[in-house]
Amino acid sequence: MNVPRYFALIPAAGVGARMQLGSPKQYAMLAGKPMLQHVMETFARASHITHTYVVVSAADVYVDDLPFIAGTTVLRCGGATRRESVMNGLAAIAAEVSAEDWMLVHDAARPGLTVPLIEQLIAALKDDAVGGLLALPVVDTLKRANGQGRVDATVSRDALWAAQTPQMFRHATLLQALQQADAVTDEASAMEALGLQPKLVEGHARNFKVTLPQDLLLAELYLKGRYEDNTPI
C-alpha cells in the first residue's frame, strides 16, 4: 500500500452573516492580508501538506484577487451549507487523491492556525485508525438556560471540549460519512454517526473561529503577534 499523503481542504463558501460586513468575512483584511490568504499561506508553508484545495461558491467575485500561492487550487463548488461545501470539494478531488489519503478540513474563518499546530495534529493522528480534530478543553463554567433567559442548571464541564479545525480524516470514509450525515456542523460529527470515535488533540486559543464583528481585533492581534513572540505554536 502507498504511504498516505496529507491534503488540506478549506471550506470558504460562507456569506459571513453574523459578521455583518456586507461581504464574506473570509476576505476581511487582517494584519494586511485577507483572512483566507493567511490560511492558504499557512498550509503552503506546512511541509507535510501535498496540496491545498479551497472551496468557494460559484458566484465568488473576490477569490481571483488573491495572489497565486503554489500548491493551492481553488474549487468553485461551494454548497448551501458547510457540510455541502466540504462534501462537494471532496467529491471534486476524488480522482486526485487516494481513498486512504488524509484530508485536513480547516475553516477559512480560523486564520490563527499555525504550522506547528498542523504538525502536532498530524503527529498525533498519522497512525490512528479513525483520525480526529484539534479541540480545546472547556474552561468556563457552563449554564443551561431556560426559556426566559434564566439559569436552569449548571452543567459540568468535565470531559467537555470545544471543537476546532483542522479535522483530519481519510478521504473515502469522510466523504461517505458526510453523504450519510444529516445536518452536521463538523466532520467529526459525521464520523461519530458512523459509530467511530475521533481523537481529540489539544489546539490553541489563537485558532478560534472569527464569527462576530468583535472577533476581528483579537484575530489581528494574534496574527501580528505570530511574528513577534517565539512561542512554538
The yes or no reply on residue 58 touching ligand CTP (CB under 6 A) is no
Q: Which of residues 13-72 bind Mg ion (CB under 5 A)?
A: 14
> Quick one: how many helices (H) and strands (E) in the chain?
6, 11
- Contacts for 74-82: CB closer than 8 Å, 24+ residues apart: 78/11, 78/12, 78/13, 79/13, 81/183, 82/11, 82/14, 82/107, 82/185
The yes or no reply on residue 112 touching ligand CTP (CB under 6 A) is no
Residue linked to cell 459509530: 195
Whether residue 5 contacts residue 74, with contact meaning beta carbons closer than 8 Å, is answered with no
Binding at 153: pick from ligand CTP, Mg ion, none (beta carbon under 5-8 Å per type):
none
Which residue's CB is nearer to ligand CTP, number 4 or number 79?
A: 79
Among 209, 215, 216, 218, binds ligand CTP (CB under 6 A): 209
User: Residue 86 corresponds to which cell in the numbers above?
Assistant: 466540504
Residue linked to cell 458547510: 82
The yes or no reply on residue 82 touching ligand CTP (CB under 6 A) is yes
Q: Report, in Å, the least distance between residue 26 CB and ligand CTP.
A: 5
Q: Report, in Å, the least distance between residue 216 CB and Mg ion.
A: 16
Which residue's CB is nearer to ligand CTP, number 16 or number 132?
A: 16
